């Protein structure tokens, strides 16, 4: 009898340990889905130890240490403390978190998923003793109590996600990931003057995921709705799955902050979850249902083919861009992105295109697509007028048909911002100063 009870007790202990391991593993997957590491890890720092600088209109804030270190991290957080911070935006000491923490999105995360996340951060993450940095926001703007008012007005009540009646399970799963842990709206939804997202889900209107209204670190987040020119209307579900998984497809390649999302988050998601996200995004209607369909035009390609580079910006394009993106703007599939019909090129705001011409960028290799794609920086050898000319040429060629004009002043402003952020070197300063 005693042996039987001992065996039963040991068996129960073993099951509990296995269950805990499974919960931690589930939490790790969910932390990947939420891309927590991207914001809570500084370049060259330890994972989740915080310290990443994030520029805001009122000053710089720094992400916090969310490792289980008891002195400087969240090691003394109870589960209730943890879920209040993640879903309500309230720290253990009662302070309201800056809305750079996307708690308005996390409000829909289920209790089961929150418990798995808590298990992972308490038992699957190495503790790091690293004190949090104070923000650079000057007083009185640095006071926290106005944030509590903001939270009370704009943050939704915590209500776990519920599928709609008779909603396709895959569609519901995609909606849960996009609206919740993926917090896609935090970047891809325009914000009001009071800095809240104009919509937290598709039920609140067509502003949801219609593209950022202001640059974030020098980039604008794309329209993820079904618009024909500036959105994903011409993409298939398979195109979306390719982009989400690898950061590249036949239409474009990821840039800016999206490269980190692919590198740290999306490449690790299951095929089922990638498919669910793609299915949900393709279900979204257009922000502008009357937007004209993109129609290719080969007039510029024919002119360049016959050696006519007299159009403003054409000679710079042939010299600096055509080797990778071709004279017809078609690029090389899943490597050098097409500029012809590219939603980023045709976006209302040209800042992302100017940015990548100036500073370049790299899409790292990921599982299934191990070769990195690098766009070199041209800011060191092109002056402001040359950058403006080539950007205008790209936006107006091959059927892109963008009429708004980028000026040298527009480029100079972004170049100055790039230098202040340390993204360009001294050679760029000489170009800026005309030396």
CA 279 to chain centroid: 19
Closest by CA to 114, choosing from 90, 88, 92, 82, is 82
**Any known ligand binding at 306?**
no
281 CB-contact burial (10 Å; exposed 0-12 / middle 13-18 / buried 19+): buried
Q: CA dist 134 to 49, 52, 64, 84, 280, Å?
A: 14, 12, 10, 21, 39
Please count the other Cβ atoms lying within 10 Å of the Cβ belonging to residue 59: 12
User: 62 pairs with which residues across the strands?
Assistant: 53
Please count the other Cβ atoms lying within 10 Å of the Cβ belonging to residue 214: 12
Helices marked H in 95-138: 103-106, 111-123
**Any known ligand binding at 324?**
yes
Residue with tokens 């017809």: 328
Quote the crossing angle between the two packed helices 408-420 and 351-359, to the nearest 10°: 60
As a whole number of angstroms, the distance between CA 236 and CA 110 comes to 30
Closest by CA to 387, choosing from 414, 359, 360, 354, is 354
For the chain, give the number of residues: 435
**Any known ligand binding at 187?**
yes
Quote the crossing angle between the two packed helices 271-282 and 169-179, to the nearest 10°: 90
DSSP 3-state of 319 = helix
**Any known ligand binding at 264?**
no
Residue with tokens 């009540």: 157
317 CB-contact burial (10 Å; exposed 0-12 / middle 13-18 / buried 19+): buried
Residue 200 near residue 105, CB atoms below 8 Å: yes
**Any known ligand binding at 39?**
yes
**Any known ligand binding at 206?**
no
Residue 287 near residue 223, CB atoms below 8 Å: yes
Check residue 275 and report its DSSP letter.
H
As a whole number of angstroms, the distance between CA 85 and CA 43 comes to 24
**Any known ligand binding at 251?**
no
What is the dihedral sign for C-alpha 220, 221, 222, 225? Answer: negative
As a whole number of angstroms, the distance between CA 77 and CA 70 comes to 8
DSSP string, 324-351: HH-TTS--BTTTB---TT-TTTTSS--H
- Residues flagged as binding site for heme c: 36, 39-40, 184, 187-188, 321, 324-325
- Residues flagged as binding site: 36, 39-40, 184, 187-188, 321, 324-325
């Amino acid at each position: 009898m005693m042996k039987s009870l001992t065996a039963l007790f040991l068996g129960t202990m073993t099951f509990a340990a296995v269950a805990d391991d499974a919960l931690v593993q589930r939490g790790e997957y969910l932390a990947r889905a939420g891309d927590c590491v991207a914001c809570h890890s500084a370049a060259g720092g330890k994972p989740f130890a915080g310290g990443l600088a994030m520029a805001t209109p009122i000053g710089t804030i720094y992400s916090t240490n969310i490792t289980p270190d008891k002195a400087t991290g969240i090691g003394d957080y109870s589960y209730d403390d943890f879920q209040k911070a993640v879903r309500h935006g309230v720290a253990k000491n009662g302070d309201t978190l800056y809305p750079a923490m996307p708690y308005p999105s996390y409000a829909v995360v289920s209790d089961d998923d929150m418990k798995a996340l808590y298990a992972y951060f308490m038992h699957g993450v190495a503790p790091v003793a690293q004190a949090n940095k104070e923000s650079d926001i000057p007083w009185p703007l640095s006071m926290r109590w106005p944030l509590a008012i903001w939270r009370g007005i704009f943050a939704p009540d915590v209500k776990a996600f519920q599928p709609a009646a008779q909603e396709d399970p895959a569609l519901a799963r995609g909606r849960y990931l996009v609206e919740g842990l993926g917090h896609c709206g935090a970047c891809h939804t325009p914000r009001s003057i009071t800095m809240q997202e104009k919509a937290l889900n598709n039920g609140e209107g067509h502003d949801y995921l219609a593209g950022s209204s202001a640059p974030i670190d020098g980039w604008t987040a794309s329209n993820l709705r079904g618009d024909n020119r500036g959105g994903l209307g011409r993409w298939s579900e398979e195109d979306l799955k390719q982009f989400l998984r690898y950061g590249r497809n036949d239409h474009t390649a990821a840039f800016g902050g999206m490269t980190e999302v692919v590198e740290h988050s999306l490449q690790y998601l299951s095929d089922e979850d990638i498919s669910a996200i793609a299915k949900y995004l393709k279900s979204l209607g257009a922000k502008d249902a009357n937007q004209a369909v993109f129609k290719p035009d080969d007039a510029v390609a024919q002119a360049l083919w016959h050696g006519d580079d007299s159009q403003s910006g054409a000679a710079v394009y042939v010299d600096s861009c055509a080797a990778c993106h071709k004279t017809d703007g078609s690029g090389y599939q899943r490597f050098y992105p097409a500029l012809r019909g590219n939603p980023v090129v045709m976006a209302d705001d040209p800042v992302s295109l100017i940015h990548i011409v100036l500073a370049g960028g790299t899409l790292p290799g990921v599982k299934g697509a191990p070769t990195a794609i690098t766009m070199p920086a041209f800011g060191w050898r092109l002056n402001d007028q040359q950058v403006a000319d080539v950007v205008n040429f790209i936006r107006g060629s091959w059927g892109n048909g963008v009429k708004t004009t980028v000026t040298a002043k527009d480029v100079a402003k972004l170049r100055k911002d790039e230098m202040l952020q340390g993204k360009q070197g001294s050679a760029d300063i000489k170009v800026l100063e005309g030396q």
